[in-house]
Amino acid sequence: MKIAHQSVNAPQVTANNTNTQPASGAPEEMRDALNKVAKQQVQNVSEADQQVLNSANLHDMEISSDTVYEPERFVKVSQTLYFGELPSLFRDMQSHYQNFMAELSQSAPDLAKEHWGFSIDEHGQFVVSGSISDKQKTYLSDKLNSNEDMLKLAQQVPGVLMKGLAYDRGADGKANAWGKYDVNNENLKDILDFRAVLDDSYSARGDIAQFKNNFDVLKFVESVAGQLRSNAEAKFSY
């Protein structure tokens, strides 16, 4: 995965000091920080599995932001948005979603193949979007909202996402990464398609920690970043 300004817009990381200019080693420091945070999320990884984690191209990140993060703030953002709370919610949703789609493929196979998506609205309910009929949207939303386990996980997404965006903006309320996007309880349903995120982050592998629950966290980051870029207003950018 190569994370560039058109995707994650990853900020630089520097040591705590009074110098506000990026240090010459900032890209290397950021890559080290990202790897450290990512590895902290993986428990009991074997030597062979660690090789897979190390081959995830985190080392090939393209640094394009001029923002300088203090390490503590960077870790808070990463552990909330990129490798921690937010992807963990989607990881836990993955199995429920796959079961839902398997059942839908049996009960309504044509509908399962249609182009539609779903998200969570300001009332904490799943809502369906896409080029399908209103009757089909109602049918799908009823089935999705009856999946209580997946709904409870999805209801936590807005709070975690907006907390991470606030961390990213920092004291001045501005950001060059995900925090620059205007996402709130009311517009989230028009910005983030949960189905697309879950489809994009699905992995047939589930045998090692990086792909636990058939979920690839690196693909997750790419998917969310792409949707933010396409669907959200960069209201808080520098």
Choose among 21, 16, 28, 33: nearest CA to 75: 33
Choose among 120, 109, 103: nearest CA to 195: 120
**Cβ atoms of 37 and 79 closer than 8 Å:** yes
pLDDT of residue 68: 59
Choose among 104, 49, 194, 125: nearest CA to 202: 194
Q: What is the pTM of this model?
A: 0.76
Q: What is the DSSP string of 31-51?
A: HHHHHHHHHHT--S--HHHHH
pLDDT in tens, 78-110: 999 999 999 999 999 999 999 999 999 999 999
- Low pLDDT (below 70) residues in the chain: 1-69
Choose among 58, 13, 8, 61: nearest CA to 38: 58
pLDDT of residue 32: 58
Average pLDDT, the chain: 80
Name the residue type at position 111.
Answer: L
Quickly count: other Cβ atoms within 10 Å of residue 52's Cβ.
15
SS (H, E, C) 139-207: HHHHHHHCCHHHHHHHCCHHHHHHHHHHHHHCCCCCECCHHHCCCCCCCHHHHCCHHHHHHHCECCCCC
Rounded CA gap, 128 and 124, in Å? 13
97: part of which helix (H) or strand (E)? helix 85-107
Rounded CA gap, 48 and 45, in Å? 8
Quickly count: other Cβ atoms within 10 Å of residue 138's Cβ.
11
What's the length of the chain? 238
pLDDT of residue 206: 82
pLDDT of residue 71: 80
